[in-house]
């Protein structure tokens, strides 16, 4: 049966659920075997009313990290970089706040988010071709969350460091190296990194809820800082472009046109388990750049998020299938579940794992979880108020400081995992947070939220 017939209800489902979830526009692409299915709904810009189409480009956010990781593995294939060598060996100018970490953090640890570097460091170093190089200079004061290799914490900064490694090894800007070594060989026809490229296409803009009407409202910026490009701040693509990238990885590093982008060994290594994640976190495990999921059959991919845009990519090797979804606001996480569950069910017999549910009968000593948890970009206070565990988070610097504070409740799933529910967001998708490394009194040393480790400071 043709793929279009198998997915004949998906276009209507996407349109219906996007409207229900407050998503202004979305583009979906599905690949199975040699067939493709594409559909889009809504608008790319609520202010102009321009229609979203399958050719529309959206920001892909941190899905970019899988492209950057692919570039790094190309350097490994060439014998110019070793995964377990300290990054300092290749870039003596690399320094962070901790002297031991400066000389010991490895390339593998950067690829797997285990470096311990406090990763949400969104320093704006301008728009010039040296913006990534200048970012590294600014990293000298960035602190460590934990010793390198000790645990997992999602680290944007680490991928900017890898971007600079690529620049040094190729004598090109990261953007140029990306186009030459990955985008051109796999045949992406619209993917790029610069706004002057995006304006040539039907480009989506991000939306956030209006503070009073709650209607999707265009955000005042189109992209994040260029210095964070290798981590996902600038790239945009069509949903089909992401499937061209997936096709190359499914085919052992060979692009659809026959060009070899990666060795088969490196393509395979990128989706092999490197570090396990706590239960109910953003993935089951992490490879060399890829998120890994245990859904009855191996699945790999990545998610992305910028200001008002969100993206999702899932690849299922055993069924030669991949799905990508690009959105520009609203409850994108819920839309992802609405659409990917039936699509992957049809293609691979997969059901997405259920969201974590609190245990109303669980009796815990909630006081031990209270305290202040802080990293360079944000501070979270956890308090026990009238028998309910509550959290309040606010940004501390840069763009994080400009974001509105968040507050809500924490409901226990077990003695270390809680469901976080935002105040006034009854229709939002609840998120899981995990308290880690309890001391002898049972007081956790860290809380893992959004994949980031937040150390207790008091």
DSSP annotation of 429 reads: P
Alpha-carbon span 121 to 375, nearest angstrom: 10
To which H or E segment does residue 58 belong? Answer: strand 58-59
**Catalytic machinery residues:** 62
**With the CA atoms of 369, 370, 374 and 377 taken in that order, what torsion angle do they form, in degrees rounded to the nearest 10?**
100
Question: Between the CA of residue 433 and those of 95, 148, 411, 428, 449, what are the distances in Å?
Answer: 31, 22, 10, 15, 5
436 and 279 Cβ atoms separated by less than 8 Å:
no
User: In this structure, how many other beta carbons lie within 10 angstroms of the beta carbon of residue 211?
Assistant: 8
Q: Which tokens is 306 given?
A: 């910028």
The DSSP-derived string for 61-121 is: GGGHHHHHHHHHHHHHHTTS--TTSBHHHH-TT---S-HHHHHH-BHHHHHTT-S-B----
Beta-strand runs (E) in 226-340:
236-237, 275-276, 285-286, 291-294, 298-306, 309-316, 321-327
């Amino acid at each position: 049966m043709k793929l279009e017939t198998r997915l004949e209800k998906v276009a209507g489902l996407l349109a219906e659920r996007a409207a229900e979830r407050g998503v202004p526009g979305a583009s979906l692409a599905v690949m199975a075997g040699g067939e493709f299915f594409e559909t889009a709904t809504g608008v790319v810009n609520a202010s102009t009313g321009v229609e979203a189409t399958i050719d529309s480009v959206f920001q892909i956010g941190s899905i970019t990290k899988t492209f950057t990781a692919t570039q790094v593995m190309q350097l490994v294939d060439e014998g110019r970089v070793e995964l377990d060598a300290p990054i300092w060996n290749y870039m003596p100018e690399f320094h962070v706040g901790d002297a031991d970490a400066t000389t010991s953090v490895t390339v593998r640890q950067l690829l797997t988010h285990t470096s311990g570097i406090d990763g949400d460091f969104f320093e704006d170093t301008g728009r010039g071709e040296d913006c990534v190089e200048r970012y590294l200079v600014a990293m000298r004061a960035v602190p460590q969350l934990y010793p390198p290799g000790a645990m997992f914490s999602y680290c944007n900064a680490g991928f900017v460091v890898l971007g600079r490694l690529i620049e040094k090894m190729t004598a090109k800007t990261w953007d140029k190296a990306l186009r030459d070594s990955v985008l051109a060989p796999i045949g992406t026809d619209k993917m790029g990194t610069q706004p002057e490229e995006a304006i040539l296409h039907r480009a989506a803009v991000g939306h956030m809820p209006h503070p009073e009407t709650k209607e999707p409202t265009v955000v005042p910026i189109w992209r994040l800082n260029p210095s964070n490009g290798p981590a996902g701040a600038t790239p945009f693509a069509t949903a089909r472009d992401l499937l061209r990238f997936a096709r190359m990885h499914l085919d052992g590093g060979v692009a659809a046109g026959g060009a070899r982008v990666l060795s088969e060994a490196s393509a395979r290594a990128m989706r092999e388990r490197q570090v396990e994640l706590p239960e109910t976190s953003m993935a089951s495990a992490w490879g060399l750049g890829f998120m890994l999921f245990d859904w009855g059959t191996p699945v790999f991919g990545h998610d992305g998020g910028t200001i008002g845009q969100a993206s999702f990519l899932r690849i299922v090797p055993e069924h030669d299938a991949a799905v990508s979804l690009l959105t520009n606001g609203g409850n994108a996480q819920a839309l992802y579940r609405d659409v990917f569950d039936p699509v992957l069910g049809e293609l691979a017999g997969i059901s997405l794992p259920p969201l974590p549910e609190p245990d109303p009968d669980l009796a815990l000593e909630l006081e031990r979880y209270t305290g202040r948890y802080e990293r360079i970009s944000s501070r979270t206070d956890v308090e026990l108020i009238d028998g309910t565990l509550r959290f309040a988070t606010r940004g501390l610097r840069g763009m994080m400081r400009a974001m509105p504070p968040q507050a809500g409740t924490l409901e226990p799933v077990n003695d270390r995992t809680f469901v976080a529910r935002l105040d006034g967001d009854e229709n939002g998708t609840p998120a899981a947070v995990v308290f880690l490394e309890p001391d002898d009194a049972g007081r956790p040393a860290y809380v893992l939220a959004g994949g980031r480790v937040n150390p207790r400071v008091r």
